[in-house]
Amino acid sequence: MESPRDNKTDFMQAVINAAPTPIFYKDAKGRYLGCNKAFEEYIGLTRGELIGKSVFELFDDDLASTYFKADNALFERKGTQIYEAKVEYADGSIHDVMFHKAYFHAEGVEGVVGSILDITERKKAEKRLEQLALTDSLTGLDNRYSLMKSLKHSLLRQHRENFTLAFLMLDLDGFKQINDSYGHPVGDALLIAVAKKLKNHFRESDVIARVGGDEFSVILENISSTESLRLLANKILAEFVEPFIIDNNSFTIGISIGIAISSSCECSSEDIIKRADAALYQVKNNGKGNYLLTVVN
């Protein structure tokens, strides 16, 4: 005949087995005392295989050390603990999870009880939102906000590593007339084609952004020479001699480029943007379809 204690244990096990989130509990030495069905599925072991084992017998050293340190910190505070981590499920898939843990002391036993909340989809959604906040929705390039963040970080790296940095401002010549005459769908298609063409001329590490209607900017780090920038500018100008084909129509637009180069660790974002903008303005005033390179002192 089962004792009331056995009945109570069976009842509590049935209750936590009904929970869809993995639940576990350990003693003061970090050995597992029990878990629910969801935790068995997560870890790939049965309760019988799990009970009495420590994290160092079940997980790789790095992960086990993370769990062990977190448990010890919880025992010292004797409160609750919440933290996020990446874990590998028994099926080999990697998940973002949130651990909720609490210290307990019941019937002469000290330990930790915890649950694991899978937040993988939430993390993916957050990443998508972050990407949207940093991306120009039409071209897929960086937007102005992302460009300014990147420029700030580039200047900080320049201060540490002492390399030459270039900032390009590019403005399309004749785009407004096409957009006004043929409508926004054609204008949008043209901007997308321009973005693709520009990407072909830059390295993967370079930051290319659409910062306005027909305005683009680029950040280039570790510039080897001024001559390499001149060659790059001339290649871009030559590329825009060829017409763009949109909906079987041919459109020719030009491009004007202002380039600011900084070899100084004291250059600010405002300094380099102003110099590139001034160079672009001068190109536009002198007939467009060219480039001007200036050095930020």
pLDDT higher than threshold 80 for residue 274? yes
| CA 32, chain centre distance (Å) | 36
Reported as a single tens digit per residue, the pLDDT across 33-59 is 999 999 999 888 899 999 999 989 988
Cα gap 32→109, rounded to integer Å? 13
pTM above 0.85, yes or no: no
**Domains of the chain in sequence order:** 4-123 (3.30.450.20), 135-296 (3.30.70.270)
Task: Name the percent of the chain lying above pLDDT 70.
Answer: 97
Cα gap 73→26, rounded to integer Å? 14
Query: Taking the chain, what is the end-to-end CA distance rounded to the nearest angstrom?
Result: 90
Strands 249-251 and 244-246: antiparallel
pLDDT at 127: 86
Tokens of 99: 């651990």
Burial of 100 (0-12, 13-18, 19+ CB in 10 A): middle
61 is catalytic: no
Q: Which of 118, 142, 171, 214 is catalytic?
A: 214
